Amino acid sequence: MLKLSETIYIALRTHGEETYPHECCGVLLGRSHEGVNEVEDAVRAGNTRTDSAHNRYHIAPQELVRIQRQGRERGLDIVGFYHSHPDHPAQWSKTDFAEAHWLGCSYVITTVANGVAQQTNSFLLTGTSEDDKSFQDETIQVEELVAGRC
C-alpha cells in the first residue's frame, strides 16, 4: 500500500498538468514498514529526456544522489517515484518496467489528458532481483486534510 497526504497527492498530479504535454517526474521520500510505503514528501525532479519528453522520462543520477542526501538528513528514505503519462493510460509500460530497478519502491503514474490530471495508479516493484521482478497493482491511501478546530 502507498500512503500519502492529500496535499502530496494533489502536488504530484498538478506537476503532471504543469509539464503537459511533457512527462513530469519526481521522487517520493518517506518510510517503508510492514508492506506500506508512507510518503512524507514528494520532490520534483527534472526530466532529462528533452529529446523525447512527451513519452520518456529520466532523472539524473546526480539529482537522485542529492535528493537521497536531503532525505537522509530528515530521516527519510526514497520509497517511490512518480511520473505522468500525457494522453496515455495510467498503466506501466514496457519501458517503465525495463527501466525499473528500485525493488520494494512504489511507481506512481498519472494520466494527464488534454492538460488535466485524470487517473492516478501506483505499482509496487516486487521481487528479489532483475530476474524475477514484477509490478503489482498497489492501493493508494490518500489521507484527507482535516480542518483545524478552534
Partner 1 sequence: MKIFIPTPLRVYADKQDAVQVNAQTVEEALSALTSQHPDLKKHLYSDEGKLRAFVNVYLNDEDVRYLPEKEATSVTEADSLSIIPSIAGGC
The mark string for 22-51 relative to partner 1 (x by CB under 8 A, - otherwise) is: -x-x-x----x----------------x--
Checking phi first, is residue 34 left (phi over 0); if not, alpha (psi -120 to 50) or beta? Answer: left
The nearest distance, CB 11 to partner 1, in angstroms, is 19
**In the set 33, 35, 51, 62, which binds partner 1 (CB under 8 A)?**
62
Closer residue to partner 1, CB minimum distance, 6 or 137: 137
Residues 76 to 95 in contact with partner 1, rule: CB under 8 A: 77-79, 81, 83, 85-86, 88-89, 92-93, 95
Backbone angles phi, psi at 65, to 5 degrees: -60, -45
- For residues 26 and 15, the answer to whether their CB atoms sit within 8 Å is yes
Q: Cα–Cα distance between 12 and 23 in angstroms, integer?
A: 12
